[in-house]
Structure 1
Amino acid sequence: MKDLVFAIAICTALTSPMLLAASKDTATPQSASRTQSPDTAAFDKSLAQFREQMKTMQAQMNQIRQTQDPQERQKLLQQHWATMQSAMTTMRGMWEPGMLGYRGRGPGMMGPGMMGGGWGHMGGYYSRLTPEQLRQRQYMTDQYLQMQQEMMNNMMWQQQYWMGPPASPQ
């Protein structure tokens, strides 16, 4: 159980756009923040790239399930892990400034004050969006959440195969 919780924590940390936002000093003064239309074309391009990576991971997982050789399984698991890392990089790139309509932070990312009122940069953000921008944001958010779910599933499968089959009671 601890291993499963650990795997979930790692996946959440690796796919969290907060890590990217926190690692960059891209804070802009509130007066400089302007509503920017999400770049759906760039998002769709990244989404297509992610879907290809997911197909590759599915094929790798099928090979892992079919192999009986432990050494071959380890090799395939390492390849699967590398593909997952690449997919996570693609996902993180989708939070670059402007990609989803934000200037420097993912949705709801807190600024330097963190718990002490760090949400000020988001004040009124959604109320300034046009209906079309809101529709674009919702589309991208829905797609991104699905991508996170798929990555979580792959992390859990990866964990299961690294641990091996459960021991049978004797």
Structure 2
Amino acid sequence: MEKELMAAVLSAAVLAVAPVAPALAQQDPPAAKSAPAKPEQPNVAEFDKQAAQIQENMRKMQDQMDKIRKTQDPQERQKLLQEHATTMQSTMAMMHGMRGPGMMGCCGGTPMGGGHMMGGGPMMGWGQMRGYYSKLTPEQMKQRQYMMDQYMGMQQMMMNQMMQHQNMSAQPPR
């Protein structure tokens, strides 16, 4: 009985450590960590292309919202609200895709800190980002700032659409 219990405890310990072992094996050797890593060049042209598509979706969402406001038919209103929600979801997915490497991404190929702010772990502070930004050229810094400024505006428009959608969903048709 003791041997079975010991085997179960040992198996549990091995299984608990097993997912960590490959991660430890994949870590860079100390010499590679000290070598300066060159940040990935931002792709402003691709960013602008995706931003234009997002802007088009924003116009589409605003048109959908105008139709929702004008409709008197409750069934038509529900259909339009569903179409608006679908457009919002696809637009949010496009915006999320913009944060990858080569666009606005950073931090070793993970999008803006690997999503730490969305519950994936501790938030990234300047301590973790300092090394990344200190390696950017002035031109790369300008490109990152341009993309961030554009992205923040898109986020604000998306929040406005979400608020309008919520308000329209709560109001009965006129």
TM-score by length of 1: 0.71
Q: Give structure 2 stretches of 5+ with no counterpart.
A: 1-22
Counterpart in the other structure of 1:129: 136
Identity of matched residues, %: 53
1:119 offset after TM fit, Å? 7.0
Alignment map for 1:63-82 (pairs within 5 Å)? 63-82=67-86
Counterpart in the other structure of 1:9: none
Runs of 4+ in 1 over 2 A off after TM superposition: 27-34, 107-111, 113-123
Cα RMSD between the aligned structures?
3.1
1:138 aligns with 2:145: yes
Which of 91, 104, 124 is equivalent to 2:110?
A: 104
Cα deviation, 1:37-83, whole Å, max 9, x if unaligned, reads: 11101101110110110111011011011111111111100000000
What letter is aligned with 1:92? H
Kept in 2, the 8 Å contact 1:110–1:119? The answer is no
Say which one has the larger Rg. 2
Counterpart in the other structure of 2:171: 164
Distance in 2 between residues matched to 1:115 and 1:94, nearest whole Å: 22
Kept in 1, the 8 Å contact 2:54–2:95? The answer is yes
- More displaced, 71-80 or 113-122? 113-122
1:122 offset after TM fit, Å? 2.6
Kept in 1, the 8 Å contact 2:40–2:102? The answer is yes
RCO greater where, 1 or 2, for CA within 8 Å and sep 6 or more? 1
Q: Which has the higher helix share?
A: 2
Distance in 2 between residues matched to 1:57 and 1:88, nearest whole Å: 12
TM-score by length of 2: 0.69
1:61 aligns with 2:65: yes
Q: Give structure 1 stretches of 5+ with no counterpart.
A: 1-24, 166-170
Residue 28 to residue 98, structure 1, CA distance change in 2 (3 Å) = farther
1:34 offset after TM fit, Å? 2.8
In the alignment of these two chains, the number of paired residues is 140
